[in-house]
Structure 1
Amino acid sequence: MNALELAQACAAAMWGEDLASQNLGMVLEHARPGQAVMRMEITSAMVNGHGTAHGGYIFTLADSAFAFACNTVDQRSVGQQASITYLAPAFCGDVLTASATERTRQTRSGLYDVTVTNQNGALIAEFRGHSRTVKGRLLGN
Structure 2
Amino acid sequence: MSPRQVAEYMFDQDEFSQWMNIKLIEVKENYCLLEMLIRKEMINGLKTVHGGVTFAFADSALAFSSNNSGDAAVALNCIINFTKAGKEGDVFRAESILVNDTRKTAVYDIKITNQNEELIAKFVGTVYKIGKKVIDL
When the two structures are superposed, what TM-score results if normalisation uses the length of structure 2?
Answer: 0.94
- Runs of 4 or more, structure 1, over 6 Å off, are none
25-34 or 82-91: which moved more?
Answer: 25-34
Alpha-carbon distance in structure 1 between the residues aligned to 2:2 and 2:20: 26
2:69 to 66, 73, 81: 73
Q: Number of residue pairs matched?
A: 136
Alpha-carbon distance in structure 2 between the residues aligned to 1:106 and 1:72: 16
Question: Which residue is equivalent to 1:16?
Answer: 12
User: Counterpart of 1:76 in 2: which secondary structure?
Assistant: strand
Q: Identity percentage over the alignment? A: 29
CA deviations 1:30-52 (Å, max 9, x no partner) are 21011011111111111111110
Alpha-carbon distance in structure 2 between the residues aligned to 1:47 and 1:139: 35
User: Counterpart of 2:76 in 1: which secondary structure?
Assistant: strand
1:103 to 99, 103, 106: 99
User: Counterpart of 2:71 in 1: which secondary structure?
Assistant: coil
User: Counterpart of 2:117 in 1: which secondary structure?
Assistant: coil
User: Counterpart of 1:136 in 2: which secondary structure?
Assistant: strand
Unaligned runs of 5+ in 1: none
Alignment of 1:122-141 (within 5 A): 122-140=118-136
When the two structures are superposed, what TM-score results if normalisation uses the length of structure 1?
Answer: 0.92
CA deviations 1:81-103 (Å, max 9, x no partner) are 10100000100000100000000
> How far did 1:117 drift?
0.3
